[in-house]
Structure 1
């Protein structure tokens, strides 16, 4: 059953429906995304949030590609988790 969860990213709140077993993962992903976006933004508060989100997603996708290109990477389970996180982030971004 899907329950609404509110996460905060760059001082904006987003509500997403997730199951109880996904709640902790979503909260963790939101904290990671918030931290990465703040890191990338640095002291420049004038960067448009949508541009910042795309640049952060591009950096994370690049890191994922590098990780998956390594031999003997954990593989499919990790990629499935990242795909699920990406779907949830797409939903969050579509709500803004």
Structure 2
């Protein structure tokens, strides 16, 4: 199966990356997001080596993703509890 090659630019450096067909725009969006994160970190005025900058950006992005997952799970649990309470209230109201 042929995988398309997508060109992305991160901190002025171009990279050609293979990705599954149909996911080219997702890859470009991810690269743009990473680039923005790294630029934000760089703009702090500190001269951070590229490798360290990439690791710090990856950690920040991973933290945000995990926090979002925890938030979504908490909301899912709250929604289940509220649905259960609503079901109980409706059942009692019908009797």
User: Do they fold alike, i.e. is TM over 0.5?
Assistant: yes
1:14 equivalent in structure 2: 15
Runs of 4+ in 1 over 6 A off after TM superposition: none
SS of 2:65's equivalent in the other structure is: helix
Query: If you compute each CA radius of gyration, which structure gives the higher value, 1 or 2?
Result: 2
2:75 equivalent in structure 1: 72
Per-residue Cα deviation, 1:47-74 (whole angstroms, up to 9, x for no partner):
211100000111111111211111136x
1:39 equivalent in structure 2: 40
Shift of 1:17: 0.7
CA distance in 2, matches of 1:44, 1:4: 34
Greater RCO, 1 or 2 (C-alpha within 8 Å, sep 6+) = 1
Note the aligned Cα RMSD (angstroms): 1.6
The verdict on how the C-alpha distance between 1:45 and 1:16 changes in structure 2, with shifts beyond 3 A counting, is farther
CA distance in 2, matches of 1:30, 1:7: 6
TM-score (norm 2): 0.68
TM-score (norm 1): 0.68
Shift of 1:43: 5.2
